């Protein structure tokens, strides 16, 4: 196994996953508004979406599947609209919600915290992560750079995928539990507004980019 290439891959994935984007913004927002438990399920939903995208990328690399640029663009537009909907709904909920209780670390009202059921968080996380099909192109371009870590295509893909999933979950979990810190809970409403605004900006920029390159 090529350990130097593997090390470069691990560092690259850590930087890519940790960089703020729609997934990180959603997980932070969920952690602040609904608690760590629901945020973990949201992270699992985004993780499963990554598996789907990786599988699609592997099929494309192996020649078993192709996907048109028009279909990717259409799905990207729908994804941007969905992310924008989540952002606006979160901003509205935050504006109407009660102030956080910084003494107990419990943000907003109990009914607001119960609002996101486990399945809902899983589905929302999956939908946001899968809503940008251009990630398939990213994986198609990214994986070949490190595919030589073993002598077989299947072995390399298995290792690269397993590492991606573990690093992805580890970093998102770190974000989640940092948001439960006393300092973070003190500014729950501010963080919620910032993360929701980030989602909205990403959606608008993504929509403009997709339209301009269709």
State pLDDT tens for residues 139-160.
777 777 788 788 888 888 899 8
Domain ranges of the chain: 3-93+117-213
Structure tokens at 14: 């850590």
Q: What is the mean pLDDT of residues 105-114?
A: 47
Residues 6+ apart with CB under 8 A from 182: 102, 105
Name the average pLDDT for the chain: 77
Let me know how many helices (H) and strands (E) the chain has, helices first.
Answer: 10, 0
CA 19 to chain CA mean position, Å = 10
**Which among 121, 213, 130 has a CA at the least distance from the CA of 176?**
121
State pLDDT tens for residues 3-39.
888 888 898 888 878 877 788 888 888 888 788 889 9
Residues 6+ apart with CB under 8 A from 114: none
Burial letters 82-115, b for 16+ CB under 10 A, else e: bbbebbeebbeebeebeebeeeeeebbeeebbee
**CA 44 to CA 173: how far, in whole Å?**
10
CA torsion through residues 175, 177, 181, 187, sign: positive
Does 76 have pLDDT greater than 80?
A: no
Does 44 have pLDDT greater than 50?
A: yes
As a whole number of Å, the CA-based R_g of the chain is 18
**CA 26 to CA 168: how far, in whole Å?**
14
Structure tokens at 47: 């993780």
**Which among 52, 9, 37 has a CA at the least distance from the CA of 180?**
37
**pTM of structure:** 0.71
The full DSSP string for 104-119 is TTB-S-HHHHHSS-HH
CA 96 to chain CA mean position, Å = 26
Does 107 have pLDDT greater than 70?
A: no
Q: What are phi and psi of 150, to 5 degrees?
A: -130, 175
Burial of residue 10 (number of CB atoms within 10 Å: 0-12, 13-18, 19+) = middle
Question: Which residues pair with residue 101 across a beta bridge?
Answer: 106
């Amino acid at each position: 196994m090529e350990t130097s290439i593997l090390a470069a891959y691990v560092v690259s994935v850590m930087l890519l996953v940790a960089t703020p984007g729609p997934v990180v913004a959603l997980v932070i927002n969920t952690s602040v508004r609904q608690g760590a438990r629901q945020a973990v399920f949201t992270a699992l939903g985004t993780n499963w979406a990554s598996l789907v995208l990786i599988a699609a990328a592997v099929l494309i690399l192996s020649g078993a599947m192709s996907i048109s640029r028009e279909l990717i663009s259409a799905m990207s537009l729908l994804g941007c609209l969905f992310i924008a909907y989540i952002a606006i709904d979160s901003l509205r909920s935050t504006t109407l919600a009660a102030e956080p209780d910084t003494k107990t670390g419990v943000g907003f009202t109990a009914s607001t915290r119960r609002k996101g059921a486990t399945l809902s968080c899983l589905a929302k996380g999956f939908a946001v992560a899968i809503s940008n099909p251009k990630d398939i192109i990213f994986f198609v371009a990214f994986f070949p750079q490190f595919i030589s870590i073993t002598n077989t295509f299947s072995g390399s893909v298995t290792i690269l995928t397993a590492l991606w999933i573990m690093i992805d979950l580890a970093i998102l979990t770190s974000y989640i539990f940092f948001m439960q810190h006393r300092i973070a809970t003190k500014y729950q409403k501010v963080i919620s507004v910032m993360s929701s605004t980030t989602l909205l900006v990403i959606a608008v920029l993504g929509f403009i980019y997709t339209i301009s390159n269709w």
